[in-house]
C-alpha cells in the first residue's frame, strides 16, 4: 500500500510557519526605503457614505445607500454592520470647493486661522455660509485620520470627513473619547490617547428639510465599554495609529483630497453648497 502523503493543508501550514519564523530578519529594516518620500508619494483614501446620487449606485445593483466606500480602492462595507476604526489624529479646516456651475470639484484646504477664512467670515451675511472672492464655497470640515479594521482583521489607513450634519456626530464622538481616563499603577488617572480604543462606525438614515440622507450613527466603543475596546501600547493597531499620526506630522502623508468627491452625490440632501459633495 502506498504511503499516505501530507495533505495540502498541512504542507501549507508547515510552509507558512517556516516563512513566519524567517520574517524576524525584517525587524532591522522596518520601513526602510521610504525615507525620501513626501506627501506627494503617499495619500490616504477617504471613507465616505454612499448617498442617493452617488455615481457608484448607478452602475452596480449590489451597492446601496448607507454603505461605506473607500474612495480609492472602491471597497465597500455594510453600513448596518459598520466598521472597526482606531482614530489617530484630527484636523479642523475649511475646504474650498468650486461651484457646480463652474465645473465643481476640490480646490484646496485652508487652516481655520488663515486670511482666506478670516476674510470669508467677515464678508458672510449668513452664519455657516462662506465663500471666496473667486466665488468658491468654503466648507467647515473636521477630518479624522486612523486605521480601519475589516472583518478579516486586515487594516487600512483612511480618513473620514465630517461636515454639515456630520459635525454633530464628530463632536459627540470626540466628547466621548476625551472623557475616558486610564488608571496607572501609582494610582493616578490620565486622559486616554485618542488611539487607545477601537470604535464601531455604522450609518443611519436621517431626514432634514432637504430630504432623506445617510449619516454616521452615534459612534460607540467597539465593545461593551471603553475597557473592552482598549488597546495596549504594544498592540499592533495602537502602533499603526501612532505611525499614521507621525507620517502626517512629518508631511510624508496627506489625505487624497482629489478623491474626496468620488463616493458622494453632489446633491443637496444635507443642504450642501452647489458643486461640492455630500459626505
Encode pLDDT of 101-153 as tens digits.
888 888 999 999 999 999 999 999 988 899 999 999 999 999 999 999 998 89
Cell digits of residue 195 = 488611539
State the average pLDDT over residues 160-185: 95
Which of 9-13, 37-41, 65-69 is predicted with the least confidence, judged by mean pLDDT?
Answer: 9-13
pLDDT classification of 256: cutoffs 50, 70, 90: confident
What pTM does this model have?
A: 0.80
Using a 10 angstrom Cβ sphere, with 0-12 exposed, 13-18 middle and 19 or more buried, the burial of residue 127 is exposed
The phi-psi region of residue 156 (left if phi > 0; otherwise alpha if psi is between -120 and 50; otherwise beta) is beta
pLDDT classification of 31: cutoffs 50, 70, 90: low
Q: What rounded mean pLDDT belongs to the chain?
A: 83
State the average pLDDT over residues 80-95: 96
Q: What is the pLDDT of residue 124?
A: 92
Q: Is the pLDDT at 90 greater than 50, yes or no? A: yes
pLDDT classification of 67: cutoffs 50, 70, 90: very high
Q: What is the pLDDT of residue 43?
A: 72
Q: Is the pLDDT at 92 greater than 90, yes or no? A: yes
State the average pLDDT over residues 179-189: 92
CA-wise closest residue to 51 among 259, 217, 268 = 268
Other CB atoms closer than 10 Å to residue 173's CB: what's the count?
A: 22
Choice between 258 and 222, residue whose per-residue pLDDT is larger: 222
State the average pLDDT over residues 88-104: 91
pLDDT classification of 21: cutoffs 50, 70, 90: low
Cell digits of residue 117 = 477664512
In angstroms, rounded to a whole number, what is the distance separating the alpha carbons of residues 117 and 6? 68
Other CB atoms closer than 10 Å to residue 268's CB: what's the count?
A: 15
In angstroms, rounded to a whole number, what is the distance separating the alpha carbons of residues 227 and 197? 8
Q: Is 124 strand, coil or helix? A: coil
Q: Is the pLDDT at 85 greater than 50, yes or no? A: yes
Q: What is the percent of the chain with per-residue pLDDT over 90, rounded to a whole number?
A: 58
Domain chopping of the chain, boundaries: 37-259
In angstroms, rounded to a whole number, what is the distance separating the alpha carbons of residues 120 and 94? 10
Q: Is the dihedral of CA 184, 239, 159, 119 positive or negative?
A: positive
In angstroms, rounded to a whole number, what is the distance separating the alpha carbons of residues 37 and 140? 30
Q: By the 8 A CB rule, do 178 and 14 touch?
A: no
CA-wise closest residue to 177 among 90, 279, 68 = 90
Note the pLDDT tens digit of each residue in 3-18: 444 443 444 444 445 5
In angstroms, rounded to a whole number, what is the distance separating the alpha carbons of residues 162 and 194? 17
pLDDT classification of 244: cutoffs 50, 70, 90: very high
**Paired sense of beta strands 155-163 and 46-49, if any:** parallel
Q: Is the pLDDT at 200 greater than 80, yes or no? A: yes
In angstroms, rounded to a whole number, what is the distance separating the alpha carbons of residues 119 and 131? 9
Q: What is the pLDDT of residue 243?
A: 93
Choice between 137 and 28, residue whose per-residue pLDDT is larger: 137
Amino acid at each position: 500500500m502506498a504511503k499516505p502523503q501530507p495533505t495540502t493543508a498541512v504542507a501549507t501550514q508547515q510552509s507558512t510557519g517556516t516563512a513566519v519564523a524567517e520574517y524576524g530578519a525584517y525587524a532591522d529594516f522596518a520601513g526602510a526605503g521610504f525615507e525620501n518620500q513626501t506627501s506627494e508619494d503617499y495619500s490616504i483614501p477617504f471613507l465616505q457614505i454612499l448617498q442617493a446620487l452617488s455615481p457608484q449606485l448607478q452602475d452596480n445593483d449590489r451597492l446601496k445607500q448607507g454603505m461605506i466606500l473607500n474612495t480609492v480602492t472602491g471597497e465597500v462595507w455594510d453600513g448596518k454592520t459598520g466598521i472597526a476604526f482606531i482614530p489617530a489624529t484630527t484636523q479642523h479646516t475649511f475646504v474650498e470647493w468650486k461651484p457646480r456651475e463652474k465645473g465643481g470639484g476640490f480646490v484646496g484646504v485652508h487652516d481655520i486661522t488663515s486670511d482666506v477664512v478670516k476674510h470669508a467670515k467677515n464678508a458672510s451675511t449668513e452664519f455657516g455660509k462662506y465663500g471666496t472672492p473667486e466665488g468658491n464655497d468654503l466648507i467647515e470640515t473636521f477630518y479624522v485620520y486612523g486605521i480601519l479594521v475589516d472583518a478579516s482583521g486586515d487594516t487600512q489607513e483612511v480618513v473620514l470627513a465630517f461636515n454639515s450634519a456630520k459635525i454633530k456626530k464628530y463632536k459627540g464622538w470626540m466628547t466621548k473619547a476625551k472623557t475616558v481616563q486610564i488608571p496607572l499603577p501609582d494610582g493616578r488617572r490620565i486622559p486616554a490617547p485618542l488611539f487607545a480604543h477601537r470604535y464601531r462606525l455604522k450609518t443611519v438614515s436621517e431626514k432634514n428639510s432637504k430630504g432623506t440622507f445617510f449619516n454616521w450613527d452615534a459612534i460607540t466603543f467597539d465593545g461593551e465599554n471603553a475597557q473592552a475596546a482598549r488597546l495596549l501600547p504594544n498592540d499592533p493597531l495602537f502602533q499603526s495609529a501612532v505611525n499614521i499620526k507621525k507620517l502626517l506630522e512629518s508631511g510624508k502623508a496627506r489625505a487624497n483630497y482629489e478623491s474626496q468627491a468620488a463616493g458622494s452625490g453632489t446633491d443637496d440632501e444635507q443642504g450642501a453648497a452647489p458643486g461640492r459633495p455630500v459626505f
